[in-house]
Chains A and B, each alone.
Chain A
Amino acid sequence: MMEFISSTFTSYVALVPVTLSQSFILAFVVMGIMIPFRTLQFPDLTSEGAYPLGGCVCGVLIAAGVNPALAIVAALACGFLAGCCTALIHLRFRIHTLLAGILMMTMLYSINLRIMGKSNLSIFGSDTVYNWAPFVTPGFPVSKIIIAGLIGAGVFLALNWFFKTEKGTALRAVGSNPAMAEAQGISVWVSTIIGVGLASGFSATSGALMVQAQGFADVNMGLGILINGLAALMIGEAVVGKQSVWRQLLAPFVGAIIYYQLVSLCLAAGMPPPDLKLATGLFVLAMLALPSLKRGRGAGGTPAREKFRE
Chain B
Amino acid sequence: MLEIRSARKVFYAGQPDEKVALDNLDLTLQTGEFGVVIGSNGAGKSTMLNAVSGALPLDSGQIAINGDDVTDTPVHKRAKRIARVFQDPMLGTAASMTVAENMLLADLRSTDRTLARGLNAKRLADYKDRLAALGLGLENRLDTKVELLSGGQRQSLSLIMAVGGSPDLLLLDEHTAALDPRTADLVMQATVRAVDTFKLTTLMVTHNMAHAVDYGHRVIMLDAGRVKLEIGGDEKANVTVAKLVDHFAVKTDAMMLGAGA
Interface residues of B (CB under 8 A from A): 53, 74-77, 79-80, 83-84, 90-97, 101, 104-106, 108-110, 113-119
Is B92's CB under 8 angstroms from A180's CB? Answer: yes
Question: Which of A167, A168, A180, A185 contacts B94, CB < 8 Å?
Answer: A180
Q: Does A69 contact B (CB under 8 A)?
A: no
Chain A neighbourhood of B80, CB < 8 A: 185
Binds B, one of A84-92, A170-178, A196-204, A292-300: A170-178
- In whole angstroms, how far apart are the Cα atoms of A93 and B118 in the complex? 33
Chain A neighbourhood of B110, CB < 8 A: 185
Is A183's CB under 8 angstroms from B84's CB? Answer: yes
Q: Please judge, given known A-B contacts A167-B115, A176-B97, whether A183 and B108 are in contact too, CB under 8 Å.
A: no
Is B113's CB under 8 angstroms from A166's CB? Answer: yes
Chain B neighbourhood of A187, CB < 8 A: 74, 76
- In whole angstroms, how far apart are the Cα atoms of A185 and B95 in the complex? 18
Nearest-CB distance from A302 to chain B (Å)?
22
5 cross-chain CB contacts under 8 A:
A165-B114, A167-B113, A169-B104, A186-B79, A187-B74
Q: Does A181 contact B (CB under 8 A)?
A: yes
Is A184's CB under 8 angstroms from B119's CB? Answer: no
Contacts beyond the supplied A177-B94, A184-B106: 7 A-B pairs with Cβ under 8 Å: A166-B108, A169-B101, A170-B113, A173-B94, A176-B95, A183-B79, A186-B76
How many contacts A-B (CB < 8 Å)? 87
Chain B neighbourhood of A184, CB < 8 A: 79, 105-106, 108-109
Is A182's CB under 8 angstroms from B76's CB? Answer: yes
Nearest-CB distance from A254 to chain B (Å)?
21
- In whole angstroms, how far apart are the Cα atoms of A67 and B110 in the complex? 44
Is B108's CB under 8 angstroms from A176's CB? Answer: no
Interface residues of A (CB under 8 A from B): 162, 164-170, 172-173, 175-177, 179-188
Q: Please judge, given known A-B contacts A169-B101, A173-B97, whether A185 and B108 are in contact too, CB under 8 Å.
A: yes
- Main secondary structure on A side of the interface with B: helix
- In whole angstroms, how far apart are the Cα atoms of A162 and B53 in the complex? 30
- In whole angstroms, how far apart are the Cα atoms of A168 and B105 in the complex? 11
- Main secondary structure on B side of the interface with A: loop
Nearest-CB distance from A158 to chain B (Å)?
11
- In whole angstroms, how far apart are the Cα atoms of A182 and B109 in the complex? 10
Chain A neighbourhood of B93, CB < 8 A: 177, 180
Chain B neighbourhood of A172, CB < 8 A: 94, 97, 101
Is A170's CB under 8 angstroms from B119's CB? Answer: no
Of all A-B residue pairs in the complex, the 4 with the closest CB atoms, nearest first, are: A185-B79, A176-B94, A166-B113, A177-B94
Nearest-CB distance from A126 to chain B (Å)?
37
- In whole angstroms, how far apart are the Cα atoms of A175 and B101 in the complex? 14
- In whole angstroms, how far apart are the Cα atoms of A167 and B104 in the complex? 11
Question: Which of A166, A173, A182 contacts B115, CB < 8 Å?
Answer: A166
Is B76's CB under 8 angstroms from A165's CB? Answer: no
Task: Name the residue among A166, A167, A168, A173 with the largest chain B CB count within 10 angstroms.
Answer: A166
Q: Please judge, given known A-B contacts A165-B117, A165-B118, A169-B118, whether A188 and B76 are in contact too, CB under 8 Å.
A: yes
Task: Name the residue among A164, A172, A177 with the largest chain B CB count within 10 angstroms.
Answer: A177
Question: Which of B75, B95, B119 contacts A182, CB < 8 Å?
Answer: B75
Question: Which of B91, B94, B95, B104 contacts A166, CB < 8 Å?
Answer: B104
- In whole angstroms, how far apart are the Cα atoms of A185 and B113 in the complex? 10
Task: Name the residue among B90, B91, B113 with the largest chain A CB count within 10 angstroms.
Answer: B113
Is A167's CB under 8 angstroms from B92's CB? Answer: no
Nearest-CB distance from B134 to chain A (Å)?
19
Is B119's CB under 8 angstroms from A181's CB? Answer: no
Is A182's CB under 8 angstroms from B79's CB? Answer: yes
Nearest-CB distance from A57 to chain B (Å)?
28
Is B118's CB under 8 angstroms from A164's CB? Answer: yes
Which residue of the partner chain A has the closest CB to B147? A176
Nearest-CB distance from B153 to chain A (Å)?
16
Question: Which of A165, A168, A169, A179 contacts B91, CB < 8 Å?
Answer: A179
Is A180's CB under 8 angstroms from B91's CB? Answer: yes
- In whole angstroms, how far apart are the Cα atoms of A167 and B101 in the complex? 12
Question: Which of B76, B77, B79, B119 contacts A164, CB < 8 Å?
Answer: B119
Chain B neighbourhood of A185, CB < 8 A: 76-77, 79-80, 108-110
Nearest-CB distance from A172 to chain B (Å)?
6
Question: Which of B84, B91, B109 contacts A177, CB < 8 Å?
Answer: B91
Nearest-CB distance from A113 to chain B (Å)?
39
- In whole angstroms, how far apart are the Cα atoms of A186 and B109 in the complex? 8
Task: Name the residue among B74, B76, B90, B91 with the largest chain A CB count within 10 angstroms.
Answer: B76
